[in-house]
Amino acid sequence: MANSVKKQGRGIKEFIRKFIVSLKRSPHNLILFALVVTFVIYSLNLTSISNTTMKVNMTNMGQCEFAGMLLSILTFVTFLRSFPRRQKANKPMVALTVIMLAANIAVDFVYVMRVSQALSMTGADAIAITADTMYIPNSRTILTIHMICLAICLALILLLPVYSKLLKKINTSIDVEGNENMAAIDIASED
């Protein structure tokens, strides 16, 4: 019983060690994960965003929605081209990814401002928030969360050199029993 608990604890430690080794080799996978989460948040809530565009129908809302989805997809393409396997980062593609993330934040900001403007209207043009139109404030909240996630992705890209160095400082070597008494092997004299 105690032996199985030790093996389970060792399995978790080994999983964490392998995960850190994987991050040390390719720390940009952390950014890819953040981009996937950001894209899923946006695309799963696209229906309420589209319904909001249809109901509010203010200047440039449709273009902002279209540009947001297009930039989300193109950001994946440019990011995957930014870090080719076993090669140095492609700096022009990294710059293009950063520009697309910043543009996506700007597009979302314009959309959120239009929705806020529509919700603050009074008089005959006012939009009443009922159970049927609850998707309007929900879409504003979702786009605010989306902007925050995009800002996190942008920060992860810009801070990649910093945390990749910190990850490399983590000791992930395994202490094997009996290795402490081994002498160094001299391979210089072999032909």
Name the residue ranges covered by the structural domains of the chain: 28-170
Cα–Cα distance, 164 to 28 (Å, whole number): 9
Give the helix ranges, DSSP H, for the chain. 2-25, 28-44, 46-56, 61-82, 91-119, 135-158, 160-168
pLDDT for res 12: 84
Tokens 């980062």 found at = 89
CA distances from 92 to 83, 88, 130 (A): 11, 12, 48
pLDDT at 14: 80
Distance of alpha carbon 146 from its chain centroid, rounded?
A: 10
Identify the pLDDT of residue 85: 79
Residue 3 has pLDDT above 60, yes or no: no
What SS3 state is found at 90? coil
AA identity, residue 23: L
In contact, 150 and 99? CB cutoff 8 Å? no
Top pLDDT among 16 and 187 is at: 16
Q: What is the DSSP letter of 111?
A: H
Of 144, 169, 160, which is closest to residue 32 (Cα–Cα)?
160
> 0.75 cut: is pTM over it?
yes
Burial of 150 (0-12, 13-18, 19+ CB in 10 A): buried
Q: Is the dihedral of CA 188, 183, 170, 19 positive or negative?
A: positive
For 111-121, what is the mean pLDDT?
Answer: 89
pLDDT given for residue 128 in this prediction: 77
Q: Which tens digit of pLDDT belongs to each residue from 49-88? A: 999 999 888 888 999 999 999 999 999 899 999 988 778 8
Structure tokens at 5: 């608990």
Note the pLDDT of residue 165: 85
pLDDT at 167: 77
116 contacts: CB under 8 Å, gap ≥ 6: 140
Contact 28, 83 (CB under 8 A): yes
Q: Are 75 and 119 in contact (CB under 8 A)?
A: no
Q: What percent of the chain is predicted at pLDDT more than 90?
A: 47
What integer pLDDT is reported at residue 181 of this predicted model?
61
